Amino acid sequence: MKRLENKIALVTGGGRGMGANITKRLAAEGAAVVLTYSKSAEQSERIAAEINQAGGRAIAIKADSADPAELTNAVDKTISAFGHIDIIVNNAGIYVGKAFEEHTMEDYEQVMAVNVRAVYASALAAVKHIPDGGRIITIGSNMADNATGPHATLYAMSKSALSGFTKGLARDLGPRDITVNLVQPGPINTDMNPSDTELADFLRSRMALKDYGTGDDVAGLVAFLASDEGKYITGTALTIDGGFNA
């Protein structure tokens, strides 16, 4: 039997970047997966179709994480399709990087809406539908603990808010054996952080290991936390960054 057989998972931003790796990995481990997207409709539908063709179960739903009503709608659709939600993966995220003097209040609203408020909103919409033993896994960033350099204030601020969310909710939901954890990746080769830039060379110079990680590296950790093997890990951050923060 596969590790996530009979489990239902919701992955925000699950059609692109490391979210796509997470979607495919959870499906390969036996979970039925609902993946959300805001812009990447075609890619998300293709991933869902590939999973269904391979004998799995997947649905792609448009849901802008910046809009709590759309997230609630995605949760409701997941319940209509599959009856409940065992695993939420809050993966959708955005990076606004520039000199602090150039920041606007709109930047703040946008980054906090997607990176923070959406995490709260999805948990709030889903909590009644998560059975005992469920999982809430959020993709933060190692930059919550190490801002690394300039231009990251807003992003680091948003990602560090997830630590309080994770610790508080782990205590709220612990009596139901629902675990709540934060996965904090370091440099992972995606559209957000391509590995062939000048910045990437600087980032490499700060790592303990030689190179960038992959979406599959992160997906493996998420699948472990989602599985029964992860049942005693809760309320904590797991940094997966090639030793960047060491």
**Residues 6+ positions from 152 with CB-CB distance below 8 Å:** 97, 143
Which residue, 146 or 234, is less far from ligand NDP as judged by CB?
146
CB of 165 vs ligand NDP, minimal distance in Å = 13
Active site residue 155: yes
User: Residue type for 150, please?
Assistant: P
* Cβ(165)–Cβ(138) below 8 Å: yes
Nearer to ligand NDP, 47 or 83 (CB): 47
**Rounded to the nearest whole angstrom, what is the least distance from the CB of residue 175 to ligand NDP in the complex?**
28
Query: Can you give the binding site for ligand NDP, defined by CB under 6 A?
Result: 12-13, 15-19, 36-40, 64-66, 91-94, 114, 139, 141, 185, 187-188, 190-193
Active-site residue (options: 37, 108, 120, 155): 155
* Min separation Cβ 13 and ligand NDP, Å: 3
Cβ proximity to ligand NDP, 163 vs 175, nearer residue:
163
CA distances from 4 to 13, 28, 82 (A): 20, 9, 15
Q: How far is the CA of 109 from the CAs of 70, 82, 101, 117, 211, in angstroms?
A: 17, 33, 16, 10, 33
The radius of gyration computed from the CA coordinates of the chain, to the nearest angstrom, equals 17
Residue with tokens 């890619």: 43
Other CB atoms within 10 Å distance of the CB of residue 86? 21
| Residue number, 124 or 133, with CB nearest to ligand NDP | 124
- Least Å from the CB of residue 154 to ligand NDP: 12
Active site amino acids: 155
